Each structure stands twice: as structure tokens, then as C-alpha cells.
Amino acid sequence: ILWGIYDLVLGIAAPYPSLADLFYLSGDLFLVVFFAMQVRFLRIVLRGWKRYLAIGLVLLFLLVAIVVVCLPMLANPSRNWLEFGLNLLYETVYVLLLAGATTLAFALYEGWLGRRWAILVSGIWFNIFANQIFFYASWHSLYYPGGQATPVSRLFDLLYIGSYLVILAGLYLRQALPFPTLRIEEALASLSQRRPWETWVLLSDESGRACFVDPRLPSLLGIEDVGALTGEFIGQILGLRTGLEDQMLREARAQGFSQPQRVLLGGGIYALQAIAEKGPPSGMYWLLTPWESRPDIRPGEQVSPEALLAQAMRGAGSAHSSGSLARRYVHAVTSLASLLCARFGGEEVVQQFGQQFIPALQACEETWESGNPPGAECREHLQKALEYVLLVVPAAEVRQALDRLEAELGEESVQAAERLGLRLRVP
């Protein structure tokens, strides 16, 4: 607005530095705080090539800023110290902004939201690169000298306007376009201790390589970190006999689901089924339930993943007390939150979710088992888990998935959670 007042009202070119820079810089500082809070709350830790690429990109920008902006100013004996100081402050803010934005984009890249974040962050990169051209042109009197356009000034204007178009495209894609409908998680219920109605869900690509493992399953397998399972084949994780995994994948591709196969885990016999995911991205859900409560599928029958999961979860029908029904609800929404983080955020996000919230909720479970009702601490952990998910997943998607989950769980479980103050609501 101030730049417009200079140009349209006062009829002069906006000076640099000016009061407008104070507000412009303040906006960048708010963005830095936003990305810092996102990274801090999500506890994002980049690993492997993502870490090195993020560090390399930020260092590359720092090198360009020093060569293009800082060194020419230091080499000029008649330099304007106020302009130099403001440019230095801009560059410092840009380094912090790019570090936070790039870290968040790489951390979420594997999820459905990742590419939308990547577009938005690329717009921020274009914007900051355009500003480097402005700093250079302004210092060397190449930015509209005498009110005349130059190739450098035109390049800046094109990049500057284009960067905001890219940013707007990223924001639009993140908010306006529909996401693939989540259906498999509608009746999710995974348990930390073996019960007749426990259910686990794994997610893999079409070849059977795992991209999501229920955070409660590794304890049954004797594995400490769920991250160690990501990228492994389902058959290797569950110890399937040679060829069984490929057979189940072929059945699922042909008819939408495979017949249940016996799997021995933790001294118990479980039924494993592969269910083809509907719509893009194509993949497989793997349903792991106690053998006695396995879903009943007739040859040629058309069934939905939601019905299979609901049938498996209710198979043994052992949860009758208010406490057991509420525990079923807590287990279900925790698994739903994990799966949402995996699908929308990617590997790093779901690992951080598991490390941050699963141990705390398991501790609440142990207190529950001793006969004590859930207290404020358990409610607080559930609420914080929901807040974490809402940072990664659009609120509308969380609300719809939670509504479908509650519908499949049944009114008794939802009412039991409501009475104990454990029912989650998306604002």
C-alpha cells in the first residue's frame, strides 16, 4: 500500500530504504515464525538425502547473497550504510525463512500435501531470488534509472509477479482441490495389548513395500522403531512364507481383496488380508486381525474395506463395559491419526507422531488397566495429537474421516468416550 501511495498519490518512485520496507520485513518475520512453529511442533528431523539437499540449497542461497549483494556493497567506498544494513537484515531473514520452508517441504513431500507445499515453497524461493536481483539493481542504479525500464528491472518484475502467482497456486492446491477419499481407516482399531478384537493396518505400494506400519505393531514384532519397518516388504515384516505375499497381491489386484492367510505373531494366530486401495494413489492396505474374528468373504462378493474392518473389529464382540468401549474408541482414533499423518505428511511426520504420542497414550492405557479412570492427562494427550494432525491434514479431511470412523465404531463406543470426556471434535 505504501509503495502504491508513493507511485500513484505522490507521483514519485518509492525510495529505498523507506517506511514500506519496515512493513515488508515484518511480514517476512511472521512467515519465519510460522515455519519455525510448524517445524518445532511437528518435531521434524530430516534424514538422508533430504537433509543434505536442504542444507545445500540454503548454503547455495547464502553464497549467492554474499557474492551478489554483500561483496559489491563492501567494495564500494561510497556505500550507504543504512541500505547495506537493511539488505543484510533482509538476507538474514531470508536464510531463516528458506531454512524453515525448505525443511517443511522436504519433510511433507511424500504425503498428499507434500507437492502442494513444494509448489508454495518454490514460490517463496522465486520471490527471494527476485529480491536478490532488486538489491543488485538498486545498488548499481539499474532499477528503472531515470524512470526508464531496463532488462534487469523487467526481469525483476517478471520474477516478482510470477513468484506470487506460484505461491497463490500452492495455496489454492492446498485448500481448494479435493483429496483422495480415505475409506480404509473408517473402522481402524489397533491395540497395544493383545485382545480378541484387536486390528492392525499396514499400507504398501503395489509391489508390497511398506510405507506405513501401525505404530503399535512393532512392539508385538520385537522392534523398537517403526521407522525400521518402512520400506521393507510386507512379507519380510510379518515373516510370510516365500511366494505368499505375491499370491495375495495378485488376488487383491484381480478382485479387490485377497483371501485371509494364517500368520503366527507373538504366539497368536492372525489372519492377513490384502485390500486394493480405490483410486489414486494406487496401493494396498493389509488388514491383520485375530484368526477367530477374520472377515467372512464369499467368492465373487463385492465388499468394501470399511465393511471388512468393521466386521473384523466386531468379530469377537468382547468389548461390553463402558471402559472397554472407550478404550476401543481411543485406539481407533489414535490409529486413524497415525494413518492420516502417513498419507498426508509422509514418513518423517508419522514417525515423529508415533514417537511423540504413542508412548504417552500407552502409559494412559496402563493406568486404565489398573482400574483408574482416564484423567485430564489422557484427554490432553489426545487433544495434542489432534492438534498435531491438523497441522498436516486439512481440517475438513480430518472431520470427515473422524465422522466415518465413529459411524463404523458404533454409537455405544462413541457415547462411552463422550461420558469420559475422550471424544475428539475437530474445530
Instruction: Give tens-digit pLDDT for 140-180.
Output: 888 778 778 888 888 888 999 999 999 998 888 766 544 44
- Residue 227 has phi, psi (to 5 degrees) of -65, -25
What single string gives the DSSP state of each residue in 112-125?
TTHHHHHHHHHHHH
pTM over 0.75: no
H/E stretch holding 14: none
Q: In terms of Cα–Cα distance, which of 6, 149, 132 is closest to 69?
A: 132
- Positive/negative CA dihedral, 14, 19, 21, 24: negative
Closest alpha carbon to 31 in 116, 82, 104:
104
Tell whether domain 184-419 is in CATH 3.40.225.10: no
Q: What is the pLDDT of residues 357-413, one digit of tens each?
A: 877 877 776 666 555 666 678 888 888 889 888 888 888 888 888 887 788 777 888
On whether the CB atoms of residues 347 and 110 are closer than 8 A, the answer is yes
Residue 169's closest CA among 209, 215, 121, 102? 121
Q: How far apart are CA 160 and CA 166, in angstroms?
A: 10
Q: What is the model's pLDDT at position 183?
A: 37
Other C-beta atoms closer than 10 Å to the C-beta of 408 total 21
Residues of the chain with CATH 3.30.450.20: 184-419
Whether omega for the bond prior to residue 17 falls within 30 degrees of 0, making it cis, is yes
Distance, CA of 210 to CA of 203 (rounded, Å)? 6
The answer for residues whose C-beta is within 8 angstroms of residue 242's C-beta and 6 or more apart is: none
Residue owning grid cell 492446491: 173
- The cell numbers describing 97, all together, are 525463512
DSSP 179: P
Residues 6+ apart with CB under 8 A from 356: 43, 388
Helix (H) or strand (E) holding 286: strand 284-290
Give the separation between CA 293 and CA 227, rounded to whole angstroms.
Answer: 29
Do 356 and 349 meet the contact criterion of CB atoms below 8 Å apart? no
Q: In what order do the strands lie in the sheet with 200-204?
A: 210-213, 200-204, 284-290, 268-276, 261-265
pLDDT given at position 149: 80
* Number of neighbours of residue 119 by Cβ within 10 angstroms: 19
pLDDT at residue 286 in the model: 84
CA–CA separation, 352 and 337 (whole Å) = 12
Residues of the chain with pLDDT under 70: 13, 77-79, 110-114, 174-198, 215-216, 218-231, 266-267, 277-282, 293-321, 347, 365-375
Q: Look at residues 95, 84, 97, 60 and name the one whose alpha carbon lies nearest to residue 138.
A: 84
